[in-house]
Chains A and B, each alone.
Chain A
Amino acid sequence: SAVISQKPSRDICQRGTSLTIQCQVDSQVTMMFWYRQQPGQSLTLIATANQGSEATYESGFVIDKFPISRPNLTFSTLTVSNMSPEDSSIYLCSVSRTSGYTDTQYFGPGTRLTVL
Protein backbone atom coordinates (compact mmCIF):
# COMPACT_ATOMS: atom_id res chain seq x y z
CA SER A 1 0.00 0.00 0.00
CA ALA A 2 1.03 3.64 0.38
CA VAL A 3 0.88 6.28 3.09
CA ILE A 4 -0.24 9.56 1.59
CA SER A 5 -0.84 12.86 3.34
CA GLN A 6 -2.51 16.00 2.06
CA LYS A 7 -2.49 19.54 3.31
CA PRO A 8 -4.74 21.32 4.04
CA SER A 9 -7.47 18.87 4.98
CA ARG A 10 -10.07 21.55 4.36
CA ASP A 11 -10.28 25.24 3.57
CA ILE A 12 -12.83 27.95 2.96
CA CYS A 13 -11.72 30.50 0.40
CA GLN A 14 -13.01 33.65 -1.21
CA ARG A 15 -13.72 33.73 -4.93
CA GLY A 16 -10.89 35.06 -7.05
CA THR A 17 -8.19 33.71 -4.76
CA SER A 18 -5.95 30.64 -5.23
CA LEU A 19 -5.24 27.65 -3.02
CA THR A 20 -2.30 25.26 -3.22
CA ILE A 21 -2.82 21.70 -2.04
CA GLN A 22 0.15 19.57 -1.08
CA CYS A 23 0.49 15.80 -1.42
CA GLN A 24 3.27 13.82 0.24
CA VAL A 25 3.94 10.08 -0.25
CA ASP A 26 5.91 7.82 2.04
CA SER A 27 8.18 6.50 -0.72
CA GLN A 28 9.19 7.34 -4.27
CA VAL A 29 6.64 6.97 -7.04
CA THR A 30 6.83 7.70 -10.73
CA MET A 31 3.34 9.05 -11.22
CA MET A 32 1.02 11.00 -8.98
CA PHE A 33 -2.57 11.74 -9.87
CA TRP A 34 -4.93 14.55 -8.97
CA TYR A 35 -8.69 14.02 -8.87
CA ARG A 36 -11.67 16.27 -8.28
CA GLN A 37 -14.84 15.04 -6.64
CA GLN A 38 -17.70 17.49 -6.90
CA PRO A 39 -20.49 17.24 -4.31
CA GLY A 40 -22.40 13.99 -4.64
CA GLN A 41 -20.38 12.94 -7.67
CA SER A 42 -17.76 10.38 -8.58
CA LEU A 43 -14.08 11.12 -9.07
CA THR A 44 -12.77 12.88 -12.16
CA LEU A 45 -9.09 12.81 -13.06
CA ILE A 46 -7.64 16.30 -13.41
CA ALA A 47 -4.07 15.45 -14.39
CA THR A 48 -1.18 13.04 -14.08
CA ALA A 49 2.05 14.43 -12.64
CA ASN A 50 5.40 12.94 -13.62
CA GLN A 51 8.59 14.05 -11.96
CA GLY A 52 10.77 16.09 -14.31
CA SER A 53 8.13 16.77 -16.93
CA GLU A 54 4.98 18.78 -17.35
CA ALA A 55 1.75 17.33 -16.05
CA THR A 56 -0.66 15.71 -18.47
CA TYR A 57 -4.14 17.21 -18.23
CA GLU A 58 -7.43 15.53 -18.96
CA SER A 59 -10.02 17.03 -21.25
CA GLY A 60 -11.73 19.96 -19.60
CA PHE A 61 -8.83 20.85 -17.33
CA VAL A 62 -6.13 23.40 -18.18
CA ILE A 63 -2.78 24.28 -16.71
CA ASP A 64 -3.69 27.92 -16.14
CA LYS A 65 -6.54 26.92 -13.85
CA PHE A 66 -4.88 23.91 -12.17
CA PRO A 67 -1.09 24.33 -12.25
CA ILE A 68 0.75 21.32 -10.87
CA SER A 69 4.27 20.98 -9.57
CA ARG A 70 6.23 17.77 -9.08
CA PRO A 71 9.63 18.75 -7.67
CA ASN A 72 10.63 15.22 -6.58
CA LEU A 73 9.45 11.64 -6.46
CA THR A 74 7.54 11.94 -3.19
CA PHE A 75 5.79 15.30 -3.44
CA SER A 76 3.36 17.21 -5.64
CA THR A 77 1.19 20.29 -5.42
CA LEU A 78 -2.04 21.25 -7.13
CA THR A 79 -3.09 24.89 -7.25
CA VAL A 80 -6.70 25.86 -7.84
CA SER A 81 -6.45 29.34 -9.36
CA ASN A 82 -8.91 32.23 -9.54
CA MET A 83 -11.47 30.20 -7.66
CA SER A 84 -15.21 30.37 -8.11
CA PRO A 85 -17.97 28.59 -6.14
CA GLU A 86 -18.01 25.92 -8.88
CA ASP A 87 -14.56 24.85 -7.70
CA SER A 88 -16.01 23.73 -4.36
CA SER A 89 -15.06 20.05 -4.30
CA ILE A 90 -12.93 17.43 -2.66
CA TYR A 91 -9.50 17.22 -4.25
CA LEU A 92 -7.63 13.93 -3.90
CA CYS A 93 -4.17 12.86 -4.86
CA SER A 94 -3.28 9.27 -5.55
CA VAL A 95 -0.29 7.12 -6.45
CA SER A 96 0.06 3.85 -8.27
CA ARG A 97 1.87 0.87 -6.79
CA THR A 98 2.64 -2.40 -8.53
CA SER A 99 2.44 -5.67 -6.64
CA GLY A 100 3.19 -8.68 -8.77
CA TYR A 101 1.27 -8.09 -11.95
CA THR A 102 -1.29 -5.77 -10.40
CA ASP A 103 -1.28 -1.98 -10.49
CA THR A 104 -3.29 -0.39 -7.70
CA GLN A 105 -3.99 3.25 -6.95
CA TYR A 106 -3.98 4.44 -3.36
CA PHE A 107 -5.51 7.73 -2.32
CA GLY A 108 -4.71 10.50 0.08
CA PRO A 109 -7.27 11.69 2.63
CA GLY A 110 -8.51 14.50 0.38
CA THR A 111 -8.84 18.25 0.72
CA ARG A 112 -12.33 19.67 1.08
CA LEU A 113 -12.48 23.07 -0.57
CA THR A 114 -15.36 25.48 -0.16
CA VAL A 115 -15.37 28.67 -2.24
CA LEU A 116 -17.65 31.49 -1.14
Chain B
Amino acid sequence: AQTVTQSQPEMSVQEAETVTLSCTYDTSENNYYLFWYKQPPSRQMILVIRQEAYKQQNATENRFSVNFQKAAKSFSLKISDSQLGDTAMYFCAFLPRGAQKLVFGQGTRLTINP
Protein backbone atom coordinates (compact mmCIF):
# COMPACT_ATOMS: atom_id res chain seq x y z
CA ALA B 1 0.00 0.00 0.00
CA GLN B 2 1.12 3.50 -0.73
CA THR B 3 1.84 5.85 2.15
CA VAL B 4 2.69 9.54 2.34
CA THR B 5 4.59 11.00 5.28
CA GLN B 6 4.90 14.65 6.23
CA SER B 7 7.32 14.78 9.12
CA GLN B 8 6.74 18.41 10.09
CA PRO B 9 3.39 18.87 11.86
CA GLU B 10 3.93 22.62 12.22
CA MET B 11 6.25 25.27 10.82
CA SER B 12 6.50 28.98 11.33
CA VAL B 13 8.53 31.58 9.42
CA GLN B 14 8.67 35.33 9.00
CA GLU B 15 7.10 37.04 6.06
CA ALA B 16 9.38 37.19 2.97
CA GLU B 17 11.45 34.22 4.13
CA THR B 18 11.79 31.00 2.20
CA VAL B 19 10.36 27.82 3.69
CA THR B 20 10.58 24.18 2.65
CA LEU B 21 7.97 21.58 3.55
CA SER B 22 9.01 17.93 3.48
CA CYS B 23 7.15 14.96 2.04
CA THR B 24 8.23 11.38 1.51
CA TYR B 25 6.20 8.57 0.05
CA ASP B 26 6.38 4.83 -0.31
CA THR B 27 5.27 3.02 -3.45
CA SER B 28 6.24 0.26 -5.83
CA GLU B 29 4.62 2.09 -8.73
CA ASN B 30 6.77 3.67 -11.43
CA ASN B 31 4.18 5.97 -12.98
CA TYR B 32 2.39 8.34 -10.65
CA TYR B 33 1.60 11.93 -9.82
CA LEU B 34 2.42 14.00 -6.78
CA PHE B 35 0.56 17.04 -5.54
CA TRP B 36 0.71 19.74 -2.93
CA TYR B 37 -2.62 21.12 -1.76
CA LYS B 38 -3.15 24.14 0.44
CA GLN B 39 -6.04 24.40 2.89
CA PRO B 40 -6.44 27.86 4.44
CA PRO B 41 -8.83 28.48 7.34
CA SER B 42 -11.62 28.81 4.78
CA ARG B 43 -11.16 24.99 4.46
CA GLN B 44 -11.12 24.99 0.64
CA MET B 45 -8.52 22.55 -0.71
CA ILE B 46 -6.52 24.44 -3.32
CA LEU B 47 -4.10 22.80 -5.71
CA VAL B 48 -0.69 24.43 -5.35
CA ILE B 49 1.51 22.39 -7.66
CA ARG B 50 1.73 18.97 -9.28
CA GLN B 51 4.54 16.78 -10.58
CA GLU B 52 4.46 13.87 -12.99
CA ALA B 53 6.88 11.16 -11.94
CA TYR B 54 8.14 10.62 -15.48
CA LYS B 55 9.33 14.23 -15.69
CA GLN B 56 12.81 14.87 -14.36
CA GLN B 57 12.34 18.62 -14.33
CA ASN B 58 10.99 20.00 -11.07
CA ALA B 59 7.63 21.75 -11.32
CA THR B 60 7.42 25.48 -10.62
CA GLU B 61 4.41 27.76 -10.14
CA ASN B 62 5.40 31.35 -9.41
CA ARG B 63 6.76 31.39 -5.81
CA PHE B 64 6.16 27.66 -5.37
CA SER B 65 8.58 25.01 -6.53
CA VAL B 66 9.25 21.39 -5.74
CA ASN B 67 12.34 19.27 -5.27
CA PHE B 68 11.37 15.88 -6.66
CA GLN B 69 13.82 13.10 -5.91
CA LYS B 70 12.31 9.95 -7.39
CA ALA B 71 14.96 7.51 -6.19
CA ALA B 72 14.70 8.85 -2.66
CA LYS B 73 10.89 9.07 -2.92
CA SER B 74 10.97 12.63 -1.72
CA PHE B 75 8.80 15.54 -2.83
CA SER B 76 9.45 18.76 -0.93
CA LEU B 77 7.71 22.09 -1.50
CA LYS B 78 9.63 25.36 -1.41
CA ILE B 79 7.79 28.62 -0.91
CA SER B 80 9.86 31.68 -1.76
CA ASP B 81 9.17 35.20 -0.53
CA SER B 82 6.48 33.88 1.78
CA GLN B 83 3.35 35.97 2.26
CA LEU B 84 0.78 36.20 5.04
CA GLY B 85 -1.74 34.59 2.71
CA ASP B 86 0.41 31.47 2.56
CA THR B 87 -0.67 30.64 6.11
CA ALA B 88 -2.53 27.32 5.78
CA MET B 89 -2.38 23.57 6.17
CA TYR B 90 -0.37 22.00 3.38
CA PHE B 91 -1.05 18.43 2.28
CA CYS B 92 1.18 16.30 0.12
CA ALA B 93 -0.71 13.73 -1.98
CA PHE B 94 0.13 10.77 -4.20
CA LEU B 95 -1.85 9.30 -7.09
CA PRO B 96 -0.79 6.23 -9.09
CA ARG B 97 -1.33 6.74 -12.79
CA GLY B 98 -4.65 5.26 -13.84
CA ALA B 99 -5.94 5.17 -10.27
CA GLN B 100 -8.46 7.52 -8.75
CA LYS B 101 -7.74 7.31 -5.03
CA LEU B 102 -5.53 10.09 -3.72
CA VAL B 103 -3.32 9.19 -0.78
CA PHE B 104 -2.75 12.14 1.54
CA GLY B 105 -0.10 12.90 4.08
CA GLN B 106 -1.05 14.12 7.54
CA GLY B 107 -0.41 17.75 6.69
CA THR B 108 1.90 20.54 7.82
CA ARG B 109 0.46 23.63 9.46
CA LEU B 110 2.41 26.60 8.11
CA THR B 111 2.19 29.99 9.78
CA ILE B 112 3.67 33.10 8.16
CA ASN B 113 4.34 35.78 10.77
CA PRO B 114 4.37 39.50 9.97
Contact = CB atoms under 8 A, between A and B. Distances in A.
Interface of A: 1, 31, 33, 37, 41-43, 45, 48, 90, 92, 94, 96, 101-110, 112
B104 A42 contact: yes
Per DSSP, chain A at the interface is strand
Contact of B33 (A31, A41, A102): A102
B52 A102 contact: yes
B43 A109 contact: yes
Contact of B44 (A31, A103, A104, A109): A109
Given A33-B100, A107-B45, A42 B106 contact: yes
Given A45-B102, A104-B35, A110 B44 contact: yes
Interface in B20-76: 33, 35, 37, 42-47, 50, 52, 54
Instruction: Classify chain B: how many residues form its interface, as a range.
Output: 20 to 34
A107 B43 CA distance: 10
A108 B100 CA distance: 17
